[in-house]
Structure 1
Amino acid sequence: MVLWEALDALSHQLELCAVTAETQLVVLIDPALDNSQIIGIQAAVTRTGAHSIDVHITPGRCSGNKPLNAAISASDLIITTGSHTVTHLSTAVPTLHLHSVPPQLFAPHASLKRRVRAFAALVDDADTLVLSDSNGTSITVSLAGGTTRFDHGFIEPGQHRARFPAGWVMTTPSAGSVYGQLVLMPGDANLSGKRLINSPVVLYIANDHISSIEGDNPDADVLRALLEHVNKPTAYGVAGLSLGMNPGSVAPGLFDARLVDPVISQLLAGIVHLSFGENLVADRPCPQTITLALQSRDVHIDGLPVVRNGRLEGDFAPDVYEL
């Protein structure tokens, strides 16, 4: 059964991506999707009046598939689902990926695009980001030489790849840019360990790398084991820092299981992701990336408060119509 709220959310997402009756679509449907997801996508596309070709195909059969590539080349937009990604395709056609997340939980809104773009522009122009909290976290990131990327979830000129739901901004720092200490607290999450944090753990960071881990508990032990697993110094280096900006229908709470979900956790408003491992901007290749999700933190950009205790501030906060 398709929920009307889900259908409305997905239909509005396509509308905001300028899908109309004139649009030529190719929809790549992963056979692993459940039937209600497939029906919901098909119903939302039908609502737009777009000319659509549905292709039920596993990701492994896309590469070098001449009939598929011909259909894609003649289209205006590709919609991918499930395990499909644009990396399976040889195309410059705009692509919207639909995550397997109930769309009504993250109903789209044009204001999200404005806020994400504004925050990405702020980070691009700034010199310093500071992550802190009342428990002793204090990390300084020099933004000079780093890169910024974002996903607000909408296809538009200059933004030919998007995912739904989305709403995050990430900075990847250059070499020699990060120092300080991170205090992991109960309610944070170790995405790579697929677990919520239950006991405090302190990470000391010097010259971009974790120099020591303080904590005599299972959370600290799991983190040490993950970092040691690949036996490479680059595993300890900072890979990136991202901020979620999507309010969704439910605000993050203490011991929120959604923080362990790699898709939802990244986009939740006010949640900070700090990752360790591969950072090609700093010329530090690594076969793994370990990500920590942090809630109830403060973020300042060149002294401007953009997050206070896990809540987006000022122009970066969701407006009343998004909630």
Structure 2
Amino acid sequence: MKENQTVMKRIVDNMSRVIVGKEGSARLMVIALAASGHVLIEDVPGIGKTTMANAMAKTVGLSFNRIQFTPDILPSDITGFTVFNQKTGEFEYRSGGIMSHIILADEINRTSPKTQASMLEVMEEKQVTVDGKTYPVPDPFMVIATQNPVEYMGTYPLPEAQMDRFMMKIAIGYPSRSEEMDILYRFQESSPLSDLDPVVTREELLDLRQQVRKVRVDQSLAGYIVDLVTATRRHEHVMLGCSPRASLSLFRASQAAALYDGRDYVIPEDIRDLAVPVLSHRLVLKQEAKIRRITDESIILDIVNHQKIPVGVK
């Protein structure tokens, strides 16, 4: 158990060589990585969204590919395509940008809904289907997507089906004054990314993902997760609540969080701390709630604060 905790904290420490003062965001990304989930980083420009994704990829030492989403990118650019080989007389598959362990889907909301839809199968089933044939992506596989929440010109909102496939949505936030000064000097001569070396092997990461699934979750806590998710479907300001996939995501993320803290069992605080990043982006609010500027995060916090916490968990 301690070995897996060490692996997770080693990743966060290495990422912190590049990302200043954002250990909390790095921790959430590592939890998602260990829990076999995908992450959507949503924040204003210049905060370090792309840098954080690059730092994660370099730290785990797996194959990495950045897909810059633009209005003219096609689904075949992502999933790949088949071409006819005149020498062999057969069609051959040419892989697209998705065939890598870690995918940075940069500015994912700048491409058309048709191209966005090409990500649905691979994010859920870890495979792509081209011309009737299925091709698995490398294992482990993770999508780290970025988007700007305040710029709407030339963007396309992600559909609910795709938002639901992200285990977490993370906001990095502005640095403090001292942290921003540290950034200036840290990037004075060159980017620390260029000197970032892998600290985790593929085998360690695969073992970590297996150990996460062995973390014990008491039946009362599983019920607590289901109650939280069910409450989102009944909330007065919510038109569409969280799906059963959200319950599974919160279950798995809580297991990874427990492992990060060196435990082989989940406690209620693991679930409560992860409720907002795991559940908030899956809500579809009613129009009157949007007019009143009620946020997804405030609704999840309200549900968490009013939901009875299990006692006597063993």
TM over 0.5: no
The answer to which structure has the higher helix fraction is: 2
TM-score scaled to structure 1, two decimals?
Answer: 0.34
The answer to which structure has the higher strand fraction is: 1
